[in-house]
């Protein structure tokens, strides 16, 4: 589904934020990407969707090279891969109702006979667990957890195969985090989505991901199946991260 090979991303100021990252996400799988602040997780995510300056390396989505994609290739990429960020308020237009926002995204999906945008938007808002009748409300009228549901509905509107979720629950209360994580897992199951799940929170990643890659200073220092990596981390940096695990486990288990 997604293959990243020797990716190097350098910002215009010369800062090399990603320095030789390789990773793979298979169809329907979840890869967790963890690492300290500034290690290059978001930059990797942005490079995959064409929002960060790739200096070298290859990114293939469904076998198609997407580095520097323009025109039709870029449009296809936007339909296949969707990125959801930590702060939905920054990515939702405050002057559009959420119904308008999701309808607009439905309009960017591949054409589908008989699909009515308004009905599809209602269906998507229901799919992410929002109550009926919320379409006419504006972003500021929602809680953080509800807004993340709106952001998910909008991302799903184009019927993507891969979702990149960048710290999507980091700003939420622990109990709300758990419900959003469970929603994401249910959506993944029902829709057969592949996920690249980015978080600095290793307990969240353990809950979400079948395999994990650990980033530090622009590079992946260790990767492997989640269980094995958590049971027997090899790299000292992974060991240090695991020693500092927070307490979400109990909340999601309950």
Ligand X SMILES: Nc1ncnc2c1ncn2[C@@H]1O[C@H](COP(=O)(O)OP(=O)(O)OP(=O)(O)O)[C@@H](O)[C@H]1O
- Give the nearest distance from C-beta 96 to ligand X in angstroms: 26
Helix, strand or coil, per DSSP, at residue 238 = helix
Of 39-47, 50-58, 136-144, 228-236, which part binds Mg ion (CB under 5 A)?
39-47
15 binds, among ligand X, Mg ion, none (CB under 5 to 8 A by kind): ligand X
Closest to ligand X by CB, 18 vs 155, is 18
Closest to ligand X by CB, 8 vs 96, is 8
Q: What is the C-alpha to C-alpha distance for residues 239 and 93, in angstroms, rounded to an integer? A: 41
Give the DSSP letter string of 83-111: EE-S-HHHHS-TTS-HHHHHHHHHTTSPP
Closest to Mg ion by CB, 13 vs 37, is 37
Return the number of other C-beta atoms located less than 10 Å from residue 247's C-beta.
8
Closest CA to 193 of 65, 82, 117, 48: 82
Side-chain-side CA neighbours of residue 145 (13 Å)? 15
Asked whether the beta carbons of 93 and 140 are under 8 A apart, the reply is no
11 binds, among ligand X, Mg ion, none (CB under 5 to 8 A by kind): ligand X
Closest to ligand X by CB, 49 vs 125, is 49
Of 36-44, 47-55, 60-68, 214-222, which part binds Mg ion (CB under 5 A)?
36-44
Token digits of residue 43: 């930059």
Residue 39 makes contact with Mg ion by CB under 5 A: no
- Give the nearest distance from C-beta 11 to Mg ion in angstroms: 14
Q: List % helix, strand, coil for the chain (3-state, nearest 5).
A: 40, 25, 35
Closest to ligand X by CB, 15 vs 189, is 15
- Give the nearest distance from C-beta 82 to ligand X in angstroms: 18
CA angle 91, 93, 97 (to 5 degrees): 125
Which of 30, 39, 42, 80: binder of Mg ion (CB under 5 A)? 42
Residue 44 makes contact with Mg ion by CB under 5 A: no
Q: What is the C-alpha to C-alpha distance for residues 20 and 195, in angstroms, rounded to an integer? A: 21
Residue 169 makes contact with Mg ion by CB under 5 A: no
Binding-site ranges for ligand X (CB under 6 A):
11, 13, 15, 17, 35, 37-43, 200
**Which residues contribute to the site for Mg ion (CB under 5 A)?**
42
């Amino acid at each position: 589904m997604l293959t990243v090979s020797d990716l190097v991303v350098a910002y215009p100021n010369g800062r090399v934020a990603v320095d030789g990252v390789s990773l793979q996400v298979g169809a329907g799988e979840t890869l967790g990407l963890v690492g300290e602040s500034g290690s290059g997780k978001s930059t990797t995510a942005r490079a995959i969707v064409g929002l960060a300056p790739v200096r070298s390396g290859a990114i293939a989505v469904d076998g198609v090279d997407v580095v520097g994609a323009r025109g039709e290739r870029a449009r296809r990429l936007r339909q296949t891969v969707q990125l959801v960020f930590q702060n939905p308020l920054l990515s939702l237009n405050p002057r559009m109702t959420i119904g308008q926002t999701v309808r607009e995204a439905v309009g960017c999906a591949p054409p589908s006979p008989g699909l009515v945008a308004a009905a599809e938007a209602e269906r998507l808002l229901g799919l992410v667990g929002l109550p009926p009748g919320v379409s006419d409300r504006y972003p500021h009228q929602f809680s953080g957890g509800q807004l993340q549901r709106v952001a998910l509905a909008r991302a799903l509107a184009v019927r993507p195969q891969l979702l990149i979720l960048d710290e999507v629950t980091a700003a939420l209360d622990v109990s709300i985090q758990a419900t959003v994580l469970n929603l994401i897992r249910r959506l993944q199951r029902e829709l057969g989505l592949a996920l690249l799940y980015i978080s600095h929170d290793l307990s969240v990643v353990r809950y979400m991901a079948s395999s994990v890659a650990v980033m530090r200073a622009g590079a992946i220092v260790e990767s492997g199946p989640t269980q094995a990596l958590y049971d027997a981390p090899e790299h000292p940096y992974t060991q240090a991260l695991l020693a500092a695990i927070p307490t979400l486990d109990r909340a999601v288990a309950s």
